[in-house]
Structure 1
Amino acid sequence: MKNKKIAIIGCGNLGTSIAHGLLESEEFNPQNLTLTKRHPESLFYLQPKGVTVISDNSQAASDADLVVLGVKPYNVPNILKEIRPVLKPGKQTIVSLATGVTLEEMQTELDPNTALFRAMPNIAADIQESITCICGKNGSTELENQIKCLFNSIGISIVIEEHLMEAATVLGACGVAYVLRFMRAMTQGGIQIGFDAKTANMIVNQTVKGAAELIIKKGIHPEEAIDKVTTPKGCTIVGLNEMEHHGFSAAMVKGVLASYNKIEKL
């Protein structure tokens, strides 16, 4: 991706996270990155790094190999109509980050042969730790690999079928907030049992990080790891059973389903 010119149109929170991740990658040239925003002043701090920051979407799209749409779902059709006159069919690829906007819906606004992709990263792109789910249309295997390479620069990526993209949004993007809310609650519990807020937060942060790394590096199921710390008549199993008694797992599943149902209605 070092020589690919990338434009992120409508660079909000997620787009900015992706930009930060790309700029941290040694494989990417900052001079190949263009960011647009209606009021671009908030992105000017990236200009000293070599990034181009403008408000003209058409100008950004005309010079790019990959055009990443970071706008809200309801704005996708308008942006595609705006930039279509400057796009070169067969030469540029469109990647949308918008939830709920299908490849078919985007294609109606573009040349039918345009290579299109949907991608759902999360805000951990900011520190190159995102999980990005990708699906596409009209793209070759080589192009699909290039898109994966782009998002691998901000974490890891997987290719899925399009009908799973909304589920990927819930699990991978909304999921960050779920985990953070759990961490906040765990920190509050730590304060109640005697720690100051800073120390409790430090312990919780590293505990969650360690638990995730354990599962990833060992390749084990979470329940297998849980079994290692739940000794007979011990304090861990008492705490887990109390949480389950109050619906911990059920509440988590219900939350995931509620978010998914909300997306399905959009």
Structure 2
Amino acid sequence: MSTSIAILGAGNIGTAIATGLVSSGTYTAPSITLTRRRIKLLEPFSEKGFNVTTSNKEAIDQSDIIIVAVEPSQIDELLKQISGFLDSGRHTLISVVSGVNIGHMKSIVSPDLPVVRAMPNTAIAIGESMTCICTDNGNAEVLEMATQIFNAVGKTVTIMEEQMTAATALCACGIAFFLRSIRAASQGGTEIGFHAHEALEMAAQTAKGAASLLADKANHPEYEIDRVTTPRGCTISGLNEMEHSGFSSAMIKGILLSAKKAEGLHKADDES
């Protein structure tokens, strides 16, 4: 792409986006500017060729796409600070901030500025993110631009804005839930006789294989489960024991609670 990108608030998710875009070959490091108050934390990225600065104005002046990746508690202050630097005819604002709607952002910057909300996860760094995006007016050109960016670092789906909180819980928080399940599987593996590093490698690859089966074949999980369960077999015994202990219920409850928490993040920060 010929456009340049500024990532304001380049913490974990911001730097993951930058890393993924460069690794995909879609962007070069010099075409991406990263900002952060504690600029020393960006030194490894400067060494890789990224532009780094503490000046949001400088980053915006040399970029076309502005990705906001700060904490919910910081976004209002940031938007007020940069509103005078944004050009509605040139810039597109992409927010990856949880719980902050487009209408609120436009009320601070400009009602004419193209704004996209995106919810990726940290797997974006290796090109495997599940990213949900939306705009407030269905602008096809803006959606296409955002889709191209995030398709380069995983898969993208366009959703309605009212679904963004759910996307936060399922996709952004969800990666931690699946990582925890892999960790639990590896601990089980250690208990039955494997060294910890062996068990973790086995569990991670097994989880990757399970996810790939669903992604490639588009079958329902229960279909693939039925293929590896036999009458009185060890798989069904293990599955039933997990269900008796609340495995599925715990996952569902965790997702519901994360969604509830995500919905109130920006409001809670405003009140604090």
Cα deviation for residue 120 of structure 1 reads 0.4
Structure 1 pair 9/139, CA: closer, same or farther in 2 (3 Å)?
A: farther
Q: Which residue of 2 aligns with 1:109?
A: 108
For the residue of structure 1 that corresponds to 2:75, the secondary structure is helix
Q: Which residue of 1 aligns with 2:256?
A: 257
For the residue of structure 2 that corresponds to 1:229, the secondary structure is coil
Query: How far apart, CA to CA, are the structure 1 residues paired with 2:49 and 2:205?
Result: 35
For the residue of structure 2 that corresponds to 1:108, the secondary structure is helix
Q: Which residue of 1 aligns with 2:269?
A: none
Task: Structure 1 unaligned segments of length 5 or more: list them.
Answer: none
1:32/1:51 contact within 8 Å kept: yes
Q: Which residue of 1 aligns with 2:164?
A: 165
Q: Which residue of 2 aligns with 1:233?
A: 232
1:6/1:68 contact within 8 Å kept: yes
Structure 1 pair 94/181, CA: closer, same or farther in 2 (3 Å)?
A: same
1:35 aligns with 2:30: no
Cα deviation for residue 142 of structure 1 reads 1.9
132-141 vs 175-184, which moves further = 132-141
1:141 aligns with 2:140: yes
Percentage of identical aligned residues: 45
- 1:42-61 matches, within 5 Å, as 42-61=41-60
2:99/2:264 contact within 8 Å kept: no
Letter in 2 for 1:56: S
Query: How far apart, CA to CA, are the structure 2 residues paired with 1:98 and 1:34?
Result: 18
Task: Give per-residue Cα distances to partners, 1:107-157, cap 9 Å, x unaligned.
Answer: 101221110011000000111100110011356312211111111121111
For the residue of structure 2 that corresponds to 1:158, the secondary structure is strand
For the residue of structure 1 that corresponds to 2:227, the secondary structure is helix
Q: Superposition RMSD on alpha carbons, in Å? A: 1.1
Task: Give per-residue Cα distances to partners, 1:134-183, cap 9 Å, x unaligned.
Answer: 01135631221111111112111111000000100000011011001111
Query: How far apart, CA to CA, are the structure 2 residues paired with 1:5 and 1:138?
Result: 24
1:31/1:51 contact within 8 Å kept: yes
Given the two structures, how large is their TM-score scaled by the length of structure 1? 0.97
1:213 aligns with 2:202: no
Q: Which residue of 2 aligns with 1:150?
A: 149
Query: How far apart, CA to CA, are the structure 2 residues paired with 1:192 and 1:98?
Result: 40
Q: Which residue of 2 aligns with 1:92?
A: 91
Query: How far apart, CA to CA, are the structure 2 residues paired with 1:192 and 1:51?
Result: 45
Runs of 4+ in 1 over 6 A off after TM superposition: none
Task: Structure 2 unaligned segments of length 5 or more: list them.
Answer: 266-272
Q: Which residue of 1 aligns with 2:23?
A: 24
Task: Give per-residue Cα distances to partners, 1:53-104, cap 9 Å, x unaligned.
Answer: 0000111112211100010112111111111111112210111111000001
Letter in 2 for 1:24: S
Structure 1 pair 264/48, CA: closer, same or farther in 2 (3 Å)?
A: closer
2:136/2:161 contact within 8 Å kept: no
Query: How far apart, CA to CA, are the structure 1 residues paired with 2:154 and 2:183?
Result: 24
For the residue of structure 2 that corresponds to 1:211, the secondary structure is helix
Query: How far apart, CA to CA, are the structure 2 residues paired with 1:142 and 1:89?
Result: 14
2:88/2:113 contact within 8 Å kept: yes
2:95/2:117 contact within 8 Å kept: yes
* Aligned residue-pair number: 265
1:116/1:139 contact within 8 Å kept: no
Structure 1 pair 100/121, CA: closer, same or farther in 2 (3 Å)?
A: same
